[in-house]
Structure 1
Amino acid sequence: MLESRRLGSRIALQIVLTILVVPFLLPLIAMVGGSLAGAGWGNYLAVLSVPELPLFFRNSALIAVTTIVIVYAFTMLAAFGFAKLHIRGKAAFFWMLIAALTLPEVVLLTPLFATVTSLNLYNTYWAVILPLSALQLPFTVLLARNFVDGIPDELLEAARIDGASTWSAFWYVILPLTRPIGAAIVVFTLLGAWNDYLLPLVFLVDPSTQTITQLPQFFVGQFSNDQTKVLASAVITAIPEVVAYLCLQRLFERGLSAGALK
């Protein structure tokens, strides 16, 4: 990690970092300030009194946790294969996967709808979980592959000499060493799954299956548009993401810095 020992350099670096953070901090301050306008903390009490709020949290948590498990499992396996295994044509497969990063969610909505209805998954959690997982995988595999590629091959060779199979080497060598990038994958996947608005809106028509992103709709209608409560809903919705990041912050930063250096 870069460190500056001169006082002037540290002050200059602190000023530059503060200037870079301000554009990202101002919208958060405006959101929290707007949520306290008017009725103040009463806006939060109004949001917390919505009867469907626990159900929305449960549905979002179920979708997010399942998506994280699927993305983490497939990402680690794919990263191990792309980085350490000798597979014919793996470079072509990797770049085909990366090309999927250029496909936005809106463009895929029509074929996804046709696929979901043909598989009888419409209005089920899987109609959201599977597309979300597929959309997250290209980016997470890109991050994890660079990280796994930095693990010395000598560790895997030593495991093979000791009689470990490919699966054992993956389970006992690769997975323990990839916890930092795993934390980054968990955070990014949580953000994508928890904040997704379009897929639940299209594929989950039953109110009992709706997610937390539908909460602001209770305060926006034909004859009402209470933006203070909408902002309070946004603050409450963001709390699980903030808690998850704070819990995984150290591993998250290590994983991203290691992947970037590679």
Structure 2
Amino acid sequence: MFELRSRFSRVGVQLLATVIALPFLAALVAMVQGSFAGQGWGNYAKVFATGVVPTYFMNSAIVAGATILIVYVVTMLGAFGFAKLRIRGKEIWFWIILAALAMPEAVLLTPLFVTASTFDIYNELIAVILPLAALQVPFTILLARGFFEGIPTELMDAGRVDGAGTFRVFWHIVLPLTRPIAGAIVVLTLLNAWNAYLLPMLMLNDPSKQVVTLLPSFFTSQYTNDQTGVLAAAVITAVPVIVAYLLLQRSFERGLSAGALK
């Protein structure tokens, strides 16, 4: 990371960061204020009175946890292969994976729906988990590959001299060194999986399988539009992921910095 030596440059960067953050902060403040309009805390009581909050939160936790696990395993193995192993045509495969970054999620909804229906997993959490994981993997592999390339090859060679195979080298030597980038991957995947909206809305019609991002829509229908309930539900939905980010912020920033510098 570059170092800001002069006071003027530090103040300038702080002002720029503040200007960038203000629109997001203003939207957050407006959401919280709107959630207290009218009945105050009663709006939150109204959300919990629906009786679906525990179910929705449990489903979101399952989706987020499973997505993180899949993305972590695939990313670590993929980044290790692309960065450290001699694989024929690996650069071609790497660029094919990166091409998926240009594919908008909305374009994939129809083929994903057809696939879920064909394999009879529609209305199941797995129909959301697998596509979410697949959408995260291209970027996380791009991020992790730079970190893996910075790990000295001499450490791997030393392991091979001691008789370790490729998997043992990866498991015992390389993987323990990837904790910084792993923290960034976990946080990014958690944010994207918890906040997913389009895929759950398409794949999950059963109320017992829906997730927290669909909670605000509980207060809107053809004949009702309870905006205070929508905003209160949105605040409740956002609180866990905000808390998780604050707890993991240091690991997230370290991981991004390490991935960019290696």
Provide TM-score, normalisation by structure 2: 0.94
CA distance in 1 between partners of 2:124 and 2:244 (Å)? 26
1:87 paired residue number: 87
2:154 paired residue number: 154
Asked if 1:135 is matched to 2:135, the reply is yes
CA distance in 2 between partners of 1:23 and 1:176 (Å)? 39
Give the letter for the 1:220 counterpart: T
Q: Secondary structure at the match of 1:107?
A: helix
Give the letter for the 1:137 counterpart: V
CA distance in 1 between partners of 2:213 and 2:14 (Å)? 36
Give the letter for the 2:250 counterpart: R
Q: Residues 125, 156 of structure 1: CA spacing in aligned structure 2 closer, same or farther, 3 A cutoff?
A: same
2:201 paired residue number: 201
Give the letter for the 1:84 counterpart: K
Q: Secondary structure at the match of 1:106?
A: helix
Provide TM-score, normalisation by structure 1: 0.94
Deviations 1:82-135 (A, max 9, x none): 000000000000000000111112111121122111111111111111111111
1:51 paired residue number: 51
CA distance in 2 between partners of 1:27 and 1:178 (Å)? 36
Q: Secondary structure at the match of 2:71?
A: helix
Q: Residues 205, 165 of structure 1: CA spacing in aligned structure 2 closer, same or farther, 3 A cutoff?
A: same
2:76 paired residue number: 76
CA distance in 1 between partners of 2:31 and 2:152 (Å)? 46
Asked if 1:178 is matched to 2:174, the reply is no
Identity of aligned residues (%): 61
Q: Residues 151, 200 of structure 1: CA spacing in aligned structure 2 closer, same or farther, 3 A cutoff?
A: same
2:213 paired residue number: 213
Any gaps of 5 or more consecutive residues in structure 2? none
Q: How many residues align?
A: 262
Q: Secondary structure at the match of 2:215?
A: helix
CA distance in 2 between partners of 1:10 and 1:146 (Å)? 28
2:104 paired residue number: 104
1:255 paired residue number: 255
Q: Secondary structure at the match of 2:254?
A: helix
Cα distance, 1:3 vs. partner?
4.4
CA distance in 2 between partners of 1:101 and 1:6 (Å)? 38
Q: Secondary structure at the match of 1:86?
A: coil
Q: Residues 102, 6 of structure 1: CA spacing in aligned structure 2 closer, same or farther, 3 A cutoff?
A: closer
Q: Residues 105, 14 of structure 1: CA spacing in aligned structure 2 closer, same or farther, 3 A cutoff?
A: closer
Any gaps of 5 or more consecutive residues in structure 1? none
Q: Residues 8, 107 of structure 1: CA spacing in aligned structure 2 closer, same or farther, 3 A cutoff?
A: closer
CA distance in 1 between partners of 2:16 and 2:113 (Å)? 47
Cα distance, 1:159 vs. partner?
1.6
Q: Secondary structure at the match of 2:106?
A: coil
Deviations 1:136-186 (A, max 9, x none): 111111111111111111111122122221111111222211111111111
Q: Residues 136, 14 of structure 1: CA spacing in aligned structure 2 closer, same or farther, 3 A cutoff?
A: closer
Cα distance, 1:7 vs. partner?
4.4
Cα distance, 1:72 vs. partner?
0.5
Q: Residues 115, 16 of structure 1: CA spacing in aligned structure 2 closer, same or farther, 3 A cutoff?
A: closer
Q: Secondary structure at the match of 2:224?
A: coil
CA distance in 2 between partners of 1:28 and 1:4 (Å)? 30
Q: Residues 213, 14 of structure 1: CA spacing in aligned structure 2 closer, same or farther, 3 A cutoff?
A: closer
CA distance in 1 between partners of 2:200 and 2:4 (Å)? 48
Cα distance, 1:2 vs. partner?
4.4
Give the letter for the 2:222 counterpart: Q
